[in-house]
């Protein structure tokens, strides 16, 4: 029998900020940017802020109107990454198979472990307690026979359980799902929820009673998947997390055509992803830029380059890509820079090149200053390539 665990770090960004500054405990906290600047969206918010209607992906200005007394933080993604990596490393050391689904979500496969570890559910609780004790992060745990049910168990039960864990017994998957609102099902967004409600389907149990042919007629291939999920069926396996094959950074705007702002953000993103590469001791030879217009059209291009992990090298390529992508007089909503085709230990090639060694020292000092103070403490002069 399968024993699948889903772990979720509650309000992850906010939880890290509270570890760094305990004075934030119990207060409404919103991570995502400065509401006075009027740009950005909510990346994470505390439960105290949610009581006022604030939620993730909400425009930061709206969040400020709903909860003006909240503490707004720009966020320190270096710290968030560090805590996420710590959780991942602990799981790697104490569990047989683990998959990192996102920066704050993990799956563990404890199937066929009873012989040497005893009851798998008891072990899952021990794992959660170990993570909480070593990181001080609030972690919730769902347990069942597959990834789908465990994830839902975490979100609708474990997070609201003082003990922060919940088990769905084998054979009771449909009974567990039936009374839940359809939005509790992963993959059902606002638009699909409206469509299903228009047909009188409000609960997952009603979805399970709907013929699969009807769902296929309404939603195509997705209809069959919806039918299977509503019956608690999920064939996906926990896939061992492999080493990161790319580094990326992105930023979201409140829709803009301000060229100076766009170039400034490109430079900021390039510096952030370059610093990520240097921290991981990686070099990239492929840089890609993804641009999302305000009408939700997404375009992307990639360019090859000599191996590098320097801010300005990546920025120069990003500018060239941007000029090729921004071909419409439509506002920009999001920019993303990704670096792939990674290589290790290229520093050895620079051992006998004094200029390269001096350049590496400059970047090393910059990284130390950014880590100690803030990412904006030092940078390059704004450069706009014509």
The set of residues, in sequence order, having a beta carbon less than 8 Å from that of 109 and lying 6+ positions away, is 2, 3, 4, 5, 96, 97, 98, 237, 238
**pLDDT tens for the chain, residues 1 to 386:** 899 999 999 999 999 999 999 999 999 999 987 888 766 788 899 999 999 999 988 899 999 999 999 999 988 777 888 898 899 999 999 998 999 888 899 999 999 898 888 999 999 999 999 999 999 999 999 999 999 999 999 999 999 999 999 999 999 999 999 999 999 999 888 889 999 999 999 999 999 999 999 999 988 888 999 999 999 999 999 988 666 678 899 998 888 888 889 999 999 899 899 988 888 888 888 899 999 888 878 889 999 887 788 888 999 999 999 999 988 888 999 999 999 877 764 443 443 334 444 555 555 655 565 555 545 555 555 544 44
Give the angle subtended at the CA of 194 by the CAs of 191 and 195, to the nearest 5°: 90
Cα dihedral 273, 274, 278, 279 sign: negative
The answer to whether 105 is a known catalytic residue is yes
List the catalytic residue out of 105, 193, 228, 347. 105
| Nearest in space to 279 (alpha carbons), one of 89, 77, 31 | 77
CA-based radius of gyration for the chain: 23
Does the model's pTM come out above 0.95?
no
Tokens of 42: 């909510």
């Amino acid at each position: 029998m399968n024993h699948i665990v889903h772990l979720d770090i509650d309000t992850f960004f906010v939880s890290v900020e509270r570890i760094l500054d305990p004075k934030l405990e119990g207060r409404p906290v919103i991570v995502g940017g400065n509401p006075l600047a009027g740009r950005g969206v909510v990346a994470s918010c505390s439960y105290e802020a949610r009581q006022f209607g604030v939620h993730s992906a909400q425009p930061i200005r709206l969040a400020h109107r709903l909860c003006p007394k909240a503490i707004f933080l720009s966020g320190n993604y270096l710290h968030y990454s560090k805590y996420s990596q710590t959780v991942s490393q602990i799981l790697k050391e104490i569990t047989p198979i683990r998959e990192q689904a996102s920066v704050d979500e993990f799956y563990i496969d404890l199937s066929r472990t009873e012989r040497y570890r005893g009851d798998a559910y008891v072990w899952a609780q021990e794992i959660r307690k170990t993570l909480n004790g070593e990181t001080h992060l609030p972690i919730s745990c769902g347990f069942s026979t597959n990834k789908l049910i465990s994830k839902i168990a975490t979100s609708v039960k474990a997070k609201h359980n003082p003990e922060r864990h919940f088990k769905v017994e084998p054979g009771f998957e449909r009974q567990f799902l039936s009374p839940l609102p359809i939005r509790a099902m992963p993959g059902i967004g606002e638009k699909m929820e409206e469509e299903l409600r228009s047909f009188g389907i409000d609960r997952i149990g009603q979805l399970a009673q709907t013929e699969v042919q009807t769902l296929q007629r309404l939603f195509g291939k997705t209809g069959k998947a919806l039918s299977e999920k509503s019956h608690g069926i999920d064939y996906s396996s926990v896939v061992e997390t492999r080493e990161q094959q790319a580094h990326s950074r992105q930023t979201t705007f409140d829709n803009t055509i301000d060229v100076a702002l766009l170039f400034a953000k490109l430079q900021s993103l390039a510096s952030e992803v370059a610093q990520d590469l240097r921290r991981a001791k990686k070099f990239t030879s492929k840089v890609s830029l993804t641009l999302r217009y305000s009408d939700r059209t997404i375009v992307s291009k990639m360019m090859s380059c000599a191996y590098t992990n320097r801010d300005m090298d990546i920025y120069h390529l990003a500018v060239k890509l941007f000029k090729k992508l921004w071909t419409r007089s439509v506002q920009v909503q999001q920019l993303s820079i990704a670096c792939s085709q990674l290589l290790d230990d290229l520093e050895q090639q620079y051992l006998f090149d004094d200029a390269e060694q001096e350049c590496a020292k400059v970047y090393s000092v910059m990284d130390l200053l950014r880590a100690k103070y803030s990412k904006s403490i030092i940078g390059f002069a704004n450069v706009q390539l014509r």
